[in-house]
Amino acid sequence: MQRLLITVLLVFLFGKISAQQVLLNRNVLADTIKPHWGQNMRHFAHPYIGLGIMAGPSSTTGGKILYGVSPNLEIGVRYKLKIARHYALGCNLSYNLYSYKLKQNTLKTLPDTVVHKAERLLFSNLTLGIFYRVSLGRTGNYIGKFVDLGMYGDWVHYADHYTRDKLTDGSTARLHVSGLNYINDIQYGFFGHFGISRFVFTVKYRMANLFPDNKNYPELPRWTFGMQLGLHKIN
């Protein structure tokens, strides 16, 4: 064991003395290779998260919602292809959760006239959006200010109905109905973004109807306003 330790020590010392210590090494040729990926380079992709609220009127009084507690949660990936100094095309692939808290009163007709303590319709969508981006002002390799205008398509892969009621004995009854058969599976609409670096203000408008025409249900609010946070480095 002692011999091993001495050998290790000698090897270390010999190595230290004979080796030149590299303090700085720069390969200039590698440095000058122009990257294709970067915030304002030809390609850029980044994840993002978003939170929005529903806005605008329902089509009739039978489908009113409680504003402010009807959120839209989004998580996705955005890809951008720069086509000119100020212009880019892009697409988003995301998961959207739309939660509409239905207003409970005697005028309610969606999905029925039964008045509950609380009632919610939840839509879980996979979304594909495409957009055209205009960058404002001149920037280097940096996401500055921009405006996007685009369209999206949703596949409603499930829709749920939740109710909560207070029973006469004081207990709470919760009902969860999934696989609703009165929903249109495909949704679509258009959207706009105004962004500064990773902070994006979003506006969405749903063009498609949530419910088939033969159901005669009132349409829920079509507008969503929200914020997104790009999960990329701020240069």
Residue ranges that bind other proteins, judged by CB under 8 A: 17-29, 31-32, 34, 38, 40, 86, 134-142, 144, 147, 149, 190, 192, 194, 203, 205, 207, 235
Nearest to 80 by CA among 182, 4, 148: 148
- Tell me how far, at minimum, the Cβ of 2 lies from other proteins, in Å: 27
Instruction: Measure the CA–CA gap between 100 and 160, rounded to whole angstroms.
Output: 11
Q: Is the peptide bond before 71 cis (omega within 30 degrees of 0)?
A: no
| Cβ distance to other proteins smaller for residue 114 or 136 | 136
Write down how long the chain is.
235
The first and second tokens of residue 198, run together, are: 């990773």
Residue closer to other proteins, measured from CB, 96 or 135 = 135
Three-class SS state of 213: helix
Q: Looking at beta carbons only, is 182 or 190 nearer to other proteins?
A: 190
The whole-angstrom separation of Cα 124 and Cα 74 is 10
| Minimum distance from residue 87 beta carbon to other proteins (Å) | 9
Smallest distance from other proteins to CB 159, Å:
23
Smaller CB distance to other proteins: residue 104 or 139?
139
- Residue 174's DSSP bridge partners are 164
Both structure tokens of 60: 């009739």
Least CB distance to other proteins at residue 111 (A): 24
Nearer to other proteins, 152 or 162 (CB): 152
**Shortest reach from residue 104's CB to other proteins, in Å:** 29
Helix (H, G, I), strand (E, B) or coil at 197: coil
